[in-house]
Structure 1
Amino acid sequence: MEYGGVVLLVAAILGAVMVGDVPGRVADFCAAAICRVTGGEDCELAGQAADVGPLAYRDPTLDPRPVRPPLDRPGCADPDAAWTEGLHAHNDYENGTPLQDALDNGAISVEADVWVAKPVELGEEGIMEGRQELSVRHDADETTSETLRDLYIDPLIERAEENGGEIYPGRDEPFRLVIEIKEKEDKNRDKWLEAYQIAYREIQDLPEGVEVVFSGDTPSSVAELADAELDGERIGLPPRGATFDIAPEYPDCTLPEHLRFGSDAYDPDEARYFSTLNGEWGEGKCGDQDGDGHISGEEQERLNEVVEQAHASGMKVRFWGTPDGKDRAGHGRFFPCIGYDSCENAPRERAWDALHEAGVDFYNTDHLTQSRDWLRECGEGDF
């Protein structure tokens, strides 16, 4: 009788939800949750509900919060931690030992550029054998045998298995693998779709301690990408733990309206799949807007506003194209630098100071050791 009473109660609640002024998808979510409790083979919505986050589909008139919680300004990196908060290994595959160099320096994020691999193994009838893969390289005409799975997927799986499912034991946030899709949609849409199709398959093997952020030629609408078809197969939504970054709208360097919380066009269904604002630093863009190597008070104020807007919308921030020095390996200067403004690293440090003041989440760098030391000392000292 008690069980029957519970069923009647939840049925009454569900009935009120169905006739009330609540979006249909919220009702579906409630129905799925109830269905999982009461059981039964006819719970068609139960599987769908597993893919719907608890903050999805919020009506801003009922609950005025972004689909992702607003973010606080990050603090300085803990010098005693095994990881270095904020350290992002730009084009990590170009380092001497990809991934391992980043992990040795405590990077919390690594970036790999990928293209659909060219067929190299042909069967007797000229058909490619084995699974299609993504090759890791910067340019289309480069020749490489390195794949996303070889350089990142399998090593991250192995490390997580050794550390109880985490990349850095004790760190609250997941490790970030940034996958930049280099195939351009406007040049060859099928190749672009194929890259996402392969990537979705590959990353499903990653542990929960790793999140994936797709970068580069990302879609402006996840719904349109999900509905697109390749060889009769829908691309579908990204796997759990995978999101996209998006470029701001220039020259104002603002979030697109459908992702900017507070805008009348804010779309929570789309916003839940975009986790990062990925802005360009240089002239006419978001940081050093006049390209003189210095950050004026006006430029700093604008940069602060850009980061605050993204954080208020629940999105993290990184910038690419910041001055980063000429050579990838540098571990400090051999000779002392005389006259700071003439030093090679001066523009980089001015940019880092500006990024730190604005409160960005990731520092894009090719110089892992120098960047690690700068972040762990919160910009103090000579680098």
Structure 2
Amino acid sequence: MRLGKFLFVCSSIILLLTISCSPTKRNSLPATLAKAHAHNDYQHPHPLFDALSLGYVSVEADIHLVNGTLYVAHDKENITKERTLQALYLNPLRNIIKENGGYVYGQDVPFILLIDIKTDADSTYLALTAVLKKYSSMITFYDNGKRKKGAVTIIVSGNRNLELMKNENLRYAAYDGRFNDLDSNISSTLVPLISANWRNYFNWKGKGEIPAEEKGKLQRLINEAHKQGKQVRFWATDVSSTQQLNLWNTLLESDVDFIGTDKLEKLKDFLSKYD
């Protein structure tokens, strides 16, 4: 096969795959799942698009700053030059939002891109800010403490500096808090989300009924966050298949805001019964 024909065939296949995985057409948009968060979304076959095709409203990407570029990968040794934050997330989201009349899903459904910083907090955040400025028309930003809502809200997790973000007059991302941040009642425009490792707070992993003491603790944590206008997400809640639905049911009953998972299809099937 001649080189030109080979390249044409390859490009055609890539285009067809992109179209088939992309929920960018308004008449084919999925029903959204209000509590669905795609943990380590970039590890799925089609980052962003697999989650969007199922109606997820929050996706997570780990980033590394290397030689001035923000790469998406879990570990530094997994970095490849084509998998940048812009290529995997920001550019596709911008195209989707343009196609869908200013929204990710063609309607005013909040959408979160949770960015987990794996390299140095300050230098990576400053590089991230410089990138996000180029997408300011589509993302939520904060001008002297006032929130200007966009189609996508960026929340920074992992290595992050609260004081650095707090002192910005113009900010393009919010801060992913922890439960101890509730002690100072920080503004929800700065810290709209509280995240925690489930296993640091609870021994129960879905087998049988959750102990009354742990159930009460869970409810108190969620209630206090909600009282301050903050949402709640736990990670490390993927457990064995026989116990998974029981744990997810408990989270729903406790009014957790986001359920994170690597099991995209399974969580979609579970939440579809409630949404």
Length-normalised TM-score, structure 1: 0.57
Contact 1:323 1:347 (8 Å CA) reproduced: no
In the TM superposition, residue 237 of structure 1 has moved relative to its aligned partner by: 5.0
Contact 1:304 1:357 (8 Å CA) reproduced: no
Which structure's CA Rg is the greater one? 1
Evaluate the alpha carbon distance shift between residue 135 and residue 81 of structure 1 in structure 2; reply closer, same or farther with a 3 A threshold.
Answer: closer
What's the counterpart of residue 217 of structure 2?
302
In the TM superposition, residue 81 of structure 1 has moved relative to its aligned partner by: 6.1
**Of the candidates 229, 237, 244, which is equivalent to residue 348 of structure 1?**
244
Mapping 1:197-236, distance limit 5 Å = 197-204=126-133, 205-206=135-136, 207=138, 208-219=150-161, 221-222=162-163, 224-225=164-165, 236=168
1:107 to 2:56 alignment: yes
**Of the candidates 236, 240, 243, which is equivalent to residue 321 of structure 1?**
236
Report the Cα distance in structure 1 between the residues aligned to 2:62 and 2:176, rounded to whole angstroms.
Answer: 14
Report the Cα distance in structure 2 between the residues aligned to 1:134 and 1:312, rounded to whole angstroms.
Answer: 35
Evaluate the alpha carbon distance shift between residue 291 and residue 364 of structure 1 in structure 2; reply closer, same or farther with a 3 A threshold.
Answer: closer
In the TM superposition, residue 289 of structure 1 has moved relative to its aligned partner by: 2.7
Q: C-alpha offsets along residues 39-83 of structure 1, whole Å, 9 cap, x if unaligned?
A: xxxxxxxxxxxxxxxxxxxxxxxxxxxxxxxxxxxxxxxxx9621
SS in 1 for 2:171: coil
Contact 1:248 1:278 (8 Å CA) reproduced: yes
Contact 1:243 1:275 (8 Å CA) reproduced: yes
SS in 1 for 2:34: coil
The one-letter code matched in structure 1 to 2:132 is: I
What's the counterpart of residue 174 of structure 2?
243
Q: C-alpha offsets along residues 143-198 of structure 1, whole Å, 9 cap, x if unaligned?
A: 3221100000000000000011100112x332110000112xxxxxxx32111011
What's the counterpart of residue 378 of structure 1?
274
Length-normalised TM-score, structure 2: 0.78
SS in 2 for 1:141: helix
Contact 2:195 2:235 (8 Å CA) reproduced: yes
1:175 to 2:114 alignment: no
Contact 1:153 1:202 (8 Å CA) reproduced: no
Report the Cα distance in structure 2 between the residues aligned to 1:178 and 1:245, rounded to whole angstroms.
Answer: 8
The one-letter code matched in structure 1 to 2:118 is: K
Report the Cα distance in structure 1 between the residues aligned to 2:44 and 2:114, rounded to whole angstroms.
Answer: 16
Q: C-alpha offsets along residues 68-110 of structure 1, whole Å, 9 cap, x if unaligned?
A: xxxxxxxxxxxx9621111101000000100000100000000
Evaluate the alpha carbon distance shift between residue 247 and residue 143 of structure 1 in structure 2; reply closer, same or farther with a 3 A threshold.
Answer: same
Report the Cα distance in structure 2 between the residues aligned to 1:292 and 1:307, rounded to whole angstroms.
Answer: 18
Q: Percent of aligned pairs with the same residue?
A: 31
SS in 2 for 1:289: coil
Mapping 1:111-190, distance limit 5 Å = 111-117=60-66, 119=67, 132-145=68-81, 146-170=83-107, 172-183=108-119
SS in 1 for 2:56: coil
Evaluate the alpha carbon distance shift between residue 101 and residue 246 of structure 1 in structure 2; reply closer, same or farther with a 3 A threshold.
Answer: same
Report the Cα distance in structure 1 between the residues aligned to 2:169 and 2:207, rounded to whole angstroms.
Answer: 41
Which consecutive unaligned segments of at least 5 residues does structure 2 have?
1-28, 139-149
Report the Cα distance in structure 1 between the residues aligned to 2:170 and 2:130, rounded to whole angstroms.
Answer: 9
In the TM superposition, residue 216 of structure 1 has moved relative to its aligned partner by: 1.5
Contact 1:278 1:317 (8 Å CA) reproduced: yes
Report the Cα distance in structure 1 between the residues aligned to 2:231 and 2:245, rounded to whole angstroms.
Answer: 21
What's the counterpart of residue 12 of structure 1?
none
Q: C-alpha offsets along residues 300-358 of structure 1, whole Å, 9 cap, x if unaligned?
A: 1110111111000000010001124xxxxxxxxxxxxxxxxxxx412222221111111
Contact 2:179 2:221 (8 Å CA) reproduced: no
Higher strand share: 2
The one-letter code matched in structure 2 to 1:304 is: Q
**Of the candidates 275, 278, 288, which is equivalent to residue 195 of structure 2?**
278
Give the number of aligned pairs.
232
The one-letter code matched in structure 2 to 1:349 is: L
SS in 2 for 1:85: strand
